[in-house]
């Protein structure tokens, strides 16, 4: 299937590692001109080099989304890379740790909201006028299954991701009849290197096996059961994001699509 992404210019925030890197690579394989973003220059350029080695069109933008000035500079550099931005994937953001409600103080809540919600707001504000002049565009925000079905742990993270659902619906109405669609992808637990490391450390601390297959089975049995029988892989998310970025997804707008293996029980 031709996704008609050839020549579409896509900025993927937080794409120097993990799921963001998979998204950037998958978009490039479909012919998109990809702008890889990160804060660490070496890691970000390494992903760009991988894309380039496969024949992809790629540019690098380094910057911090935690300030308005940083977001505006990222937007400016991204527009300059290929003459514009058609697709914005808001993947960058803080990740939750395994804290309980009692472990998280007011400052942690504020930091999480800033690092999950305001990083999106700043960049959308910096790019929205430009994207409207193109009369076509995609904004895809990466949320979490926890936004709908939170754990007892990481309450600040789950609440911030829930706010992303709300702002995405609002944005889809803000861009009414402009040709720009705004959607959400809400994954379950994604098996990235960072997540594997954290789960392995938690298993060791609790005296459980540190073999990954046993860790994954423990999580499925005790924390996140689903009828698919495994946790999410980065490519599961990347494939959906790539489709939503394409002209073939023109009539999908203001929608939250879960990539959770069926773990959320609600219809």
Q: Residue 84, Cβ neighbours under 10 Å: how many? A: 17
Helix, strand, coil shares, percent, the chain, to 5: 50, 15, 35
Average pLDDT on 57-61 reads 99
The per-residue pLDDT for range 210-256, each reduced to its tens digit, is 999 999 999 999 888 889 999 999 999 999 999 999 999 999 999 99
Q: Under a CB-based contact definition with an 8 Å cutoff, are residues 263 and 195 in contact?
A: no
Cα–Cα distance for residue pair 10/241, rounded to 1 Å: 11
Q: Which residue has the tokens 């994937």?
A: 89
Cα Rg of the chain (Å, integer): 18
Total-model pTM? 0.95
Q: Under a CB-based contact definition with an 8 Å cutoff, are residues 87 and 8 in contact?
A: yes
Share of the chain above pLDDT 70, in %: 100
Residue 224, SS3 per DSSP: coil
The per-residue pLDDT for range 174-186, each reduced to its tens digit, is 999 999 999 999 9
The domains found in the chain, sorted by start residue, are: 9-190+233-259 (3.40.50.720), 191-231 (no CATH)
Please tell me the total number of residues recorded for the chain in this structure: 267
Average pLDDT on 138-147 reads 94
What pLDDT sits at residue 226? 87
Residue 173 has pLDDT above 70, yes or no: yes
- Strand-by-strand arrangement of the 137-142 sheet: 57-62, 33-38, 9-12, 87-90, 137-142, 180-187, 256-259
Residues annotated catalytic, as ranges = 157
Residue 262 has phi, psi (to 5 degrees) of: 90, 15
What pLDDT sits at residue 75? 99
Cα–Cα distance for residue pair 258/181, rounded to 1 Å: 17
Q: Under a CB-based contact definition with an 8 Å cutoff, are residues 158 and 144 in contact?
A: yes
Cα–Cα distance for residue pair 138/253, rounded to 1 Å: 9
**Please, which pLDDT band fits residue 98 given cuts at 50, 70 and 90?**
low
């Amino acid at each position: 299937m031709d996704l008609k992404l050839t020549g579409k210019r896509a900025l993927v925030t937080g794409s120097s590692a993990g799921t963001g890197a998979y998204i950037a690579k998958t978009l490039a394989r479909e012919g998109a001109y990809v702008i890889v973003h990160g804060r660490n220059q070496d890691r970000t350029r390494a992903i760009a080099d991988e894309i380039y080695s496969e024949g992809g069109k790629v540019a690098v933008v380094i910057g911090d989304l935690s300030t308005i000035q940083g977001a505006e500079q990222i937007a400016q550099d991204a527009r300059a890379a290929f003459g514009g931005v058609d697709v914005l994937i808001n993947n960058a953001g803080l990740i939750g740790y395994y804290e309980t409600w009692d472990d998280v103080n007011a400052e942690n809540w504020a930091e999480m909201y800033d690092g999950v919600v305001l990083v999106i707001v700043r960049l959308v504000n910096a790019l929205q006028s430009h994207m409207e002049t193109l009369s076509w565009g995609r904004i895809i925000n990466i949320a979490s299954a926890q936004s709908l079905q939170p754990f007892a742990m990481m309450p600040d993270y789950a609440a911030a991701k829930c706010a992303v659902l709300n702002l995405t619906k609002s944005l889809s109405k803000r861009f009414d009849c402009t040709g720009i669609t705004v959607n959400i992808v809400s994954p379950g637990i994604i098996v990235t290197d960072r997540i594997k490391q954290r789960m392995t450390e938690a298993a060791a601390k609790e005296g459980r096996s540190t073999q990954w297959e046993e860790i994954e089975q423990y999580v499925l049995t005790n924390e996140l059961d689903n009828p698919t029988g495994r946790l999410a892989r980065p490519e599961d998310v990347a494939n959906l994001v790539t489709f939503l970025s394409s002209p073939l997804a023109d009539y999908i707008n203001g929608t939250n699509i879960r990539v959770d293996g069926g773990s959320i029980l609600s219809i």
